[in-house]
Each structure stands twice: as C-alpha cells, then as structure tokens.
Chains A and B, each alone.
Chain A
Amino acid sequence: MIEKVRPLTAVLPHIQNGHTLGLGGMTLYRRPAAFVRALIQQKHPPQNLTLLTFTAGFASDLLIGAGLVSTVRTCYFGLESFGLAPMFTQKASTDEITIIEESEASIANGLRASMAGIGFLPSRAWQGTDLFSVRPDVQTVIDPYSGERLTAFPAISCDVAVIHVLQADRLGNCRLGGNPTVDEALAMVADTTLITAEEIVERLDAPVDIPGQVVTAVTHLPNGAWPTSCYPRYPLDGEEILRYVEMCGNGRFDEYVKRET
C-alpha cells in the first residue's frame, strides 16, 4: 500500500518557477482556494507560472493579483454573476500577462490528446473564427475521409495539477462530489497531481472519480474550496466573493490577501 497523505508544507515545493500549474474545479466551484492562498503566502512563492484551467475564477484571480502568473490558458476568466475577475481584467491590458486564447473545445480536445498520447485531435470548433489569428500554433487539417476542414487542437498537459475534492482515501482515490468539471482528465495528464480533500478516509468504496494511481499526494484541507463551493458539502460564499470584488475595486487586493489568512 502506497500511503499518499502529506502535510501542506510538504507538497507546496512541488510547484517551481516556470511551471505550468493546472487548477481543478471551475469558476466558483470546488476551486483549490486554500492551497492557492498557502502558495501565495510562502516566503518565496514560485514565479512565472503558466496557469492552465478550464474556466478561471476566484482562485485564479488571486494567483494573478499576487503576481505568480505570467501566462494564462483558459476559455473563460470571470466571476459569473459577480462580474469580471478584477485582477485579471486589470492586468490583461498590460504586458504583465500573456494570454494563450483557449475555448472549451481546445482544452477538452487537448486534454484528450494528452491522455491518448497523441499530438492533436481534430474538431469542427474554431473554423471561420479569428481564434487562429491569436493562436498561430493551431493548425487546420483535412479529414482524409470526407475532405472537411477541421481544427487540429494540440495536446495539453501540465507540470502540476492541484485539485480539491470532497473525499479522498490514503491511497489517493478521490470522489469529486457531483460537479466533475475536467478534473478526471487533468489528474491523468499532469506530471504531478496534488489533491486537497475535505475529508480523508481509510479506504473509499468503488467507484471513485480519480484513481490513486494518478495521484502524487493527498493533503487534508477542510473548507479548502472556500469561498468557492464544495458541492454538496457547502455552497459558494457569495458575500465573500462580493467583499473580494469590492476590495479589489478600491485597490486593496494586497490587504484582502493578508486579511483572509
């Protein structure tokens, strides 16, 4: 039996300067927010990270505000009904951040290509749009059977994925809780997969969502998604998201990151 449980201080050093960091969950749901705060509050937090996340929201905006991220790969960056993501929106118009424009299909097909160990997967997405003008690396291929022009989405992977889950066991098996997002795929393609869990039990019964075989370490972090949700354990804390938006609007991001510790 391979014991995967580790304290937070032991797993934070996995994230190194220049890494591509994949964040699990989506926008305001099951984000590894406590892990992200701990990452930011280290004495020497990693720099020049590439943030890879399906849809970016609260936790991603913290990383951007704290200056850890130089490149962003996501299909949506915002806070849903709470408005634009303040720090991303501020820095996206400057040279501080490079955006690698993505869509649902480019990330989803890219993850699938990685899982399959191939260089690309074809899709009908993007044909006719301007996405190619800002992603010159993305090529078009011809379907050899029908002759249709298709988009060849390149494989996507990451150095480290951090995923918050409802339950994990000591072997790293995980249960996501009902809103899977892309986390099963993210856990498979990452070189290192770090799990933070609301609850760690001795052994989860089958079936699980993420098998321990693709998990590097599991860390116990109750309320680790707050103020985003961890369905069905707790809903998102909208008051806290509003407080964040309002403080950022008044130029008080640094104070916010300090205050909530």
Chain B
Amino acid sequence: MKKEPAYTIDELICTCISHQIEDGEVVAQGIATPLVAAGYLLAKLTHAPNLTFISAIGQSLCTNWAPLGVATIERLWIEQGIVTYDFVTAACDLLPHFGPKEFFRPGQVDPFGNFNNVFMGGTYQHPRLRLPGSGGIADVTPYEERVCLYVPRHGRHTFVESLDFRSGLGHIPTRQRGSGPRYLVSDLGQFDFGGENGRMRLTTLHPGVTLSRLQAKTGFPLLLPDPLPYTEPPTAQELHLLRDTIDPLGVRQLETLRGAARREKLRQILAAEAGKTG
C-alpha cells in the first residue's frame, strides 16, 4: 500500500512560491491567483514579515493581511490597504515605480520563458481557444526584473516549443530592459532560466514525479541537473499556517481543480463564507 502524502500539490506550490520571496520586497498579485496570494502570505508569516503587497483587486498597497476568500475578496485587499489608488494610477505609475516581483500563470510558455495569455490554436482571428487576455502582462514583462511563472497543471499544451502569440516577454536578445522570468514552479517541479540564452532548466523534481513523466508532459527537451535533486516538501509549520491561518477555506485549490470538481469546491467555499458573514 502506498502511503498517503502528508501534503497536497497546491500546498507544495504555495510553499515553493513562498521560498522565492525575500523579506522587504514588494510583490504584486493578479486576478484569480489564490495560489500566489497564499504563497505570499506564507512568506509574510514565516521569513518575510516586511513584505508589501500590490493587489489587482482594490489597487492598494498592503502590509497587513487577512485570510483568503472568494465572495469577500475585496475586503481582504481594500480593508488592509495603507493607500488605495485608482487603476489608471496603478497601471501608469505604481507598477512601473515599484517594478514588483510577480507570479504569472501562462496559457503557453516557450523554452525561453516567453508566454501567452491571448489565444491557443488556430489563428488570432479564428482561435481554437480564446483566453481572457494579457491583463498587465504585456505591460510589465518588458521592464520588470523579477518576473516568475507558475503552472498548476503541467502539460504539453502549456509547455510548447513555439507560442501562438507572445504577450509575456521572456529571454530575447532584443529586450531593452528588465529580465525574462527568473523562476517557474509547476505541479511537477521547479525550474530556472539559467541555460544558454535564458533557456529553461529543471532545478528540482517534486517528490514522487519521474523524469520520464515530466519530459512526456513537456513539449520541448528540458535541460536537466546532475545529480537530480528533489523539492523540499512543506514543513509541518508551513502546512499548519496554510491550512489553519492563511486559507482555511481552501481557496488555493481552485487553481488545481477543474470543471465540475472546481465548481463543487467553489460552492463549498461560498457556503462557508455566507455562514460566516450572514
């Protein structure tokens, strides 16, 4: 009998994100990215107490925090803000001024960390799947120094040799400023872009993942470390903080679930929130 793992994949991804955060940094969080929010808060409650958040919801600068929610998410960011801007000021001034560290979730990513959140398959006029759009990704990736990526479901449709569209700027020679992504975490491993010309490299494999499975799920050949290290699992303290303090409702799991399972989880979270506020 296989032993039950002591943690789930969403918790491992949050822990990996947390470990990328340095104390005193300014970090930004986009729309519908609870794995990132949970990872930031985990860092804040462990090794990075002087973290400052910029949130897409409420456009505020926050040094305090509150547990994650769905229906009540505005409360987290608006009520914790030390200053609130309108989104015009946030996009034109705040983000260029701070150049925050930010984790983006690509629809597609190529070996050099260029990425795409506009469409997949077909043509731009007649896409197979239209994605929500680039948000602020096309804005900040040309100049930010500390871009990171995360992929909750590693697969060949995401890790592609060549993109259908480049809305996120990676490691390309013609870049004027900033840097391509420094780091990527998926549900299979951790990666950097330290290969030649900024090519993606595996740095650690998550426990229980085989190299052959990882390579089969990646649409291009990966550079591999030798020897091959495994990702440190979350500590008991990290798991306790995630489950009991930062995200008791399990909002972070919305990014690893799909379809009917995700809607079921949403209903559970909404019911719990209604019980609390009503």
Interface residues of A (CB under 8 A from B): 26-27, 29, 54-55, 74-78, 80-85, 88-89, 92-95, 99, 101-109, 111-112, 121, 123-131, 134, 148-149, 178-185, 229, 231-232, 235-239, 242, 245-246
Contacts and interface: CB of A to CB of B under 8 A. Distances in A.
B47 interface: no
B127 interface: yes
In this complex, the interface size class of chain B, counting residues with CB under 8 Å from chain A, is 35 or more
B270 to A, nearest CB: 4
A99 B130 CA distance: 11
Contact of B174 (A112, A128, A181): A128
B164 to A, nearest CB: 9
10 contacts: A29-B74, A54-B87, A101-B133, A103-B134, A125-B139, A129-B142, A129-B169, A179-B59, A182-B88, A235-B74
A126 B88 contact: no
Nearest to B72: A235
Interface of B: 31-32, 34, 57-59, 70-72, 74-75, 78, 84-88, 90-92, 95-96, 118, 122, 124-143, 165-169, 172, 174-177, 251, 254, 262-263, 266-267, 269-270, 273, 277
Q: Which 9 A-B pairs have the closest CB atoms?
A: A92-B130, A125-B139, A78-B132, A108-B91, A105-B139, A104-B136, A80-B32, A104-B91, A180-B86
Given A104-B91, A124-B177, A75 B58 contact: no
A103 B135 contact: yes
Contacts of A88: 130
B92 A129 contact: no
A104 B135 CA distance: 6
Given A129-B142, A238-B266, A182 B86 contact: yes
Contact of B57 (A76, A95, A179, A246): A179
Nearest to A127: B142
Given A129-B138, A134-B124, A81 B133 contact: no
Given A83-B262, A128-B142, A229-B74, A112 B88 contact: yes
A63 B254 CA distance: 27
A211 to B, nearest CB: 14
A231 B75 contact: yes
Contacts of B269: 238
B167 A75 contact: no
Nearest to A55: B31
A79 B206 CA distance: 31
Contact of B134 (A101, A179, A182): A101
Contacts of B32: 78, 80-81
Given A149-B176, A182-B87, 19 more contacts: A81-B70, A81-B254, A83-B262, A84-B131, A93-B127, A93-B128, A103-B134, A103-B136, A103-B139, A105-B91, A109-B91, A124-B143, A128-B175, A128-B176, A129-B142, A130-B166, A180-B87, A239-B270, A242-B270
B34 A81 contact: yes
Contacts of A89: 129-130
Contacts of B91: 104-105, 107-109
A26 B137 contact: no
B165 A130 contact: yes
Contact of A245 (B118, B125, B263): B263
B270 A125 contact: no
A42 to B, nearest CB: 28
A134 B139 CA distance: 15
